[in-house]
Chains A and B, each alone.
Chain A
Amino acid sequence: MTAVANGNNSGCGAIVAEEAIDDDLSTAELEDISAEGSGRSIGRRIVRIVLPFLVIAALWETASFFTKPYLFPGLESVAKSFWTILTTWDLLSQGLVTWARLLVAVSISLLVGIPIGLAMGLNLDIDEFLRPIVKFIMGVPALNWVIIVIIWFSNTELRIGFVLVVLCTPVVIYCIYDGVRGVDRKLTDMVLSFGASPGQHVRLLMWPYVKASAFTAAKINVGNAVRTVIVAELVGAPLGIGKELDLAKNVFDMSTVLAWTLFLVLMALIMAHGIEFVERRTLRWRGESQRGH
């Protein structure tokens, strides 16, 4: 993680640096926990996590007593809407459509971004040529892309897919680029000293590092894509959570809006944890090497 963050000041580097800070905090927390004694400290930790949400829920519920339901619906009403989504196939399928779009877009951005990031990391000419283009694309707001694709394409799936991929791919490119640049020069010398060909160099040394960066990019992009997909779906998608939110908005159904929001956040968390699970299994060596040194 540190090696990746050391690469340069690109977007991914900054994001990963923040994650590294988070890692430090969690380590500090763990040390604190072990000092206090396990049972009591786990309880405290749960309270620390849950308490802010309980406070917000209490404030929300209080507000619902004094305002109209379309502003602050009661928590019971939100929970009912959420349950309706989960138990009604017509609604749940809308959520799954959005989830499928996210999954496909994040996967395509990895497929496109990994080779580009690798090429930029390994070749200075390609880096110098592509870097301004990637930076330019990163600077375009999501809503501008939505407007552009409405003019460019008539197919809704193509519109949504294009917006998601164009926003996620630069993140992958920068993460992979940082990963390649962060590879220990001494390991490169070792590999080359055995007479490795350029292909072997990439396959046997670069790829394992790039895999670690790809997981980081995927985790960041799940958040990116969740934030963007609704914007893209709101503009004329016949299926998906965006369409459902648009319908709820038209009838001032705040509890449904909140229920879908909860659904989206849970979807993002499940995807992020799924990626972390695969990452831990695939990159077991990172934990072992940290323990060993």
Chain B
Amino acid sequence: MTNSAQSRGNAERANKLVVERARKRFRQANGAAVTAIADLSFSVDVGEYVAIVGPTGAGKSVLLDCLLGLKRLDSGKIRIDGSPVDTFAREKKGHITRIFQEDRLLPWLSATDNAAFGLQIQGVPEQERRDRAAKWLDAVGLSGFKNALPGELSGGMRQRVNIARAFAPKPELILLDEAFSALDDVTASRLRQDFKTLAQTQETTFLIVTHSIDEAIFLANRILVFGAPAHVMAEIPVPSHAWQDRALSDQIKEQVRTLIAAGARPH
């Protein structure tokens, strides 16, 4: 290995996630090509909480699909722990998990079995996965609902199971895809607080896609403002006390809003 390659490897090891010059285009039904991701580069350090905010149609969800290996880039690279994302996803099942906007629970499984779903994919023995899932249901405040079917739970409770399912496989990277936006304000606020408390007990890296700048300020250490198609327009560091400091949080919000307005894809 050359010196430069070695130093690059060392640099990447410090990062959990590196996205380099990523590009992704789609062909629409009418034949027209649409660019979802355009020359996107950013990195996320181990244990960091990074929020991505941007206008609708900025390719944020496409990026998450690419990070999970569900979609392939046209060009560019995504590396996790220095390995290409396909290799990482294949060799380390369940080490990246996603908290979806809608709960996406399997309606025939109990809360415990839903929370254990990632562990089942990993091939964890049944008793162990049920024990681990039950522990996570306790952690998200669903101790009394372990045998309930999703249809018997409220929206907020189902989202708690969704969160437990994402944490249970002990992932190295958790992707939040508008995780609280489908809930009412009161439930979302309570769940956000619980999520943050829970996340701080884990040695996990978080990439948080959200439309809520308040949520980004509350959860993240750093905000990446995306333009459409997906590219980083600006990186804004978020001091840990920013969500408690009204003036500072207003300043960040104003800065992000201005950038988003400038980067929106014309409709």
A contact residues vs B (CB 8 Å cutoff):
186-187, 189-196, 200, 204-205, 208, 283-293
Contact = CB atoms under 8 A, between A and B. Distances in A.
B19 interface: no
Contact of A189 (B69, B70, B108): B70
A205 B149 CA distance: 16
B153 interface: yes
Nearest to A283: B108
Of the listed residues A194, A200, A288, A291, the one surrounded by the most CB atoms of chain B closer than 10 A to its CB is: A194
B106 A187 contact: yes
B261 to A, nearest CB: 30
Contact of A194 (B118, B149, B151): B118
15 contacts: A186-B100, A186-B102, A190-B100, A191-B121, A193-B98, A194-B93, A194-B97, A195-B69, A208-B106, A285-B107, A285-B108, A288-B149, A288-B152, A292-B152, A293-B151
B267 to A, nearest CB: 25
B121 A292 contact: no
Contacts of B90: 195
B149 A285 contact: yes
Nearest to B117: A194
A78 B150 CA distance: 52
A244 B121 CA distance: 56
Contacts of A285: 107-109, 149, 151
Nearest to A187: B104
A289 B68 contact: no
Of A190, A208, A286, the most chain B CB neighbours within 10 A belong to A190
A260 B70 CA distance: 59
Nearest to A184: B104
B107 A286 contact: yes
A85 B119 CA distance: 57
B245 to A, nearest CB: 36
Contacts of A190: 98, 100, 104
Contact of A204 (B93, B97, B107, B120): B120
B89 interface: yes
B70 A288 contact: no
B97 A292 contact: no
Nearest to A204: B120
A190 B121 CA distance: 12
A260 B41 CA distance: 77
A285 to B, nearest CB: 4
Contacts of A191: 121
Contact of B94 (A194, A290, A291, A293): A194
Contacts of A286: 107
Nearest to B149: A288
A290 B151 contact: yes
B89 A195 contact: yes
